[in-house]
Amino acid sequence: MNLLRRHRDFRLLWAGETTSRFGTAVSGVAIPLVAISLLDATTFQVGLLTAFAWLPWLVIGLPVGAWVDRLPRRPIMLAAAAASFALIASVPLMSATGILTVHLLLAAVALTGVAAVLFQTAYTAYLPTLIAPADHAEGNAKLHGSASAAQIAGAGCGGLIIQLAGPVNGLLVDAATFLVALACLAAIHHREPPRTPARQAPARPTIAVEIVDGLRLVARDVWLRTLTIFGAVSNLALMGYQSIAVVFLVREVGLSAGTVGALIAASGSGGIAGAFAARRLMRRFGTARAILIAELGLPTFALLIPLSTVSPWFYLAGAFCIGVGVVAGNVVKATFYQAYCPPDLLGRLTATSSFVNYGTIPIGALLGGTLGELLGLTPALWITTAGIPLAGLVLFCSPIRRRRDLPERRQEVSPGPGSPSRSS
């Protein structure tokens, strides 16, 4: 279990990713508060900030996946981390010179989203080349668990920094974490296996053909198709509530910036619990049943969140349970993808599933902002949080419900009515 702790390159990747997640969590609190407190943004404009952060997945997600499968992944990650540093650092600079506007903030957020598409796609495809297949479950659990811990610390520290120094200065922390991530990536010794030389391989298909191959891979495989559709529906609801959560806690519940950060940090501890629980759920119940528990059972507590106007403890309980379910489900899905998909297709699988999954995030953010503007924040939260457990019905109505375990190899065919309930 602890072998990866002695794996130098994995430790560097782990440290860099955890540090950047910490900074991103600080920005997650700081950017909406910059918009609210300094730029007097409307609820809809705050929703737009979240939408613009994820919109690049819809615009460039598919070609990036094919591109990542052609090139070494680590240089892409290095370039993306450097670009993220420059973009995040530009916001405090624009604020100091008095030129920051909502439109410039939206532009910085959107370009940072482009860098995130490049980094995340390359990172997902790079990890399986760094560690042995037997270590994938442990590696995913460690990365997801530490990411959740970093988000907790980042949200809490973000609230404190904002309370003491203002929201703009919180972004300087995020910029610094990208420098740390850059240093960690640069120090990794592992080099990816070289691609097959062109003279030994048939003519390479075009990017467009490879994009179509990735779409077909997901569309024709019942397991990949089901998980991708579920991710899209789930993210639509998740982002619908998350895009207005900070505004809701400040304007409806009446909490200070520091208290909001502390509350988000405390509720984020559900992600740590989910990372620890994932492997235990997989061993005890099987991977298919574990994902149903994580993605259908626990998210029903999301309906506590709109009751936060009665007591902030309801937000804490609801968001905690969402965190447990989302992170545990992500660990199961990441481990399944890495075992099930051939390495040469992993970049395209990541990009295709992310294109669909993350493509609904800007729509969800716009939906949350629009509902909050038209109906009010509390009714908008009732609608969006109800969608979180309802998304789990996609899994329940699929072949996953009849299995104990998800298949481990792509050679397995989709189960028919008479198929056994366990994977071989």
pLDDT confidence of residue 379 = 92
Whether residue 119 lies inside any domain: the answer is yes
pLDDT in tens, 14-35: 888 888 888 887 887 788 888 8
Whether residue 370 lies inside any domain: the answer is yes
* Regions in the chain scoring below 70 on pLDDT: 1-6, 136-138, 141, 144-145, 148-149, 151-153, 155-156, 158-159, 163, 193-205, 207, 257-258, 343-344, 346-347, 410-424
- Could you say which DSSP state residue 220 is in? T
Q: Determine the Cα–Cα distance for residues 59 and 46; give it in Å rounded to an integer.
A: 21
Q: Quick one: how far is CA 341 from the chain centroid?
A: 20
Q: Determine the Cα–Cα distance for residues 400 and 291; give it in Å rounded to an integer.
A: 9
Whether residue 340 lies inside any domain: the answer is yes
Whether residue 418 lies inside any domain: the answer is no
pLDDT confidence of residue 412 = 42
CB 252 within 8 A of CB 379: no
If phi > 0 it is left, if psi is from -120 to 50 it is alpha, else beta; for residue 98 that is: left
The CATH number assigned to the domain holding 284 equals: 1.20.1250.20
Total domain count for the chain?
A: 1
For 236, list phi and psi in degrees, rounded to 5: -60, -45
DSSP string, 359-420: HHHHHHHHHHHHHHHHH-HHHHHHHHHHHHHHHTHHHHTSGGGG-SS--SSTTSPPP-TT--
pLDDT confidence of residue 423 = 34
Cα dihedral sign, 400-404-409-412: negative
Residue type (1 letter), 329: G
Whether residue 304 lies inside any domain: the answer is yes
Whether residue 186 lies inside any domain: the answer is yes
pLDDT in tens, 156-205: 676 677 767 777 877 888 888 899 989 998 888 877 766 554 444 455 56
Whether residue 85 lies inside any domain: the answer is yes
Token pair recorded at residue 347:
């970049």
Measuring CA to CA, how many Å separate 59 from each of 179, 213, 352, 390? 27, 18, 12, 28
If phi > 0 it is left, if psi is from -120 to 50 it is alpha, else beta; for residue 248 that is: alpha
Token pair recorded at residue 7:
């794996």
Contacts for 60 with CB less than 8 Å, ≥ 6 apart = 114, 117
pTM: 0.65
Burial classification of residue 420, based on how many CB atoms lie within 10 Å of its CB (0-12 exposed, 13-18 middle, 19 or more buried): exposed
Q: Determine the Cα–Cα distance for residues 411 and 298; give it in Å rounded to an integer.
A: 32
Rg (CA), the chain: 21
- Whole domain around residue 175: which residue ranges? 3-192+205-402
Q: Using CA atoms of 238, 244, 250, 252 in order, give the dihedral in degrees to the nearest 10.
A: -100
Of the candidates 112, 316, 80, 331, which has an alpha carbon nearest to the alpha carbon of residue 181? 80
Of the candidates 335, 116, 70, which has an alpha carbon nearest to the alpha carbon of residue 227? 335
pLDDT confidence of residue 62 = 76
Whether residue 424 lies inside any domain: the answer is no
pLDDT confidence of residue 198 = 42
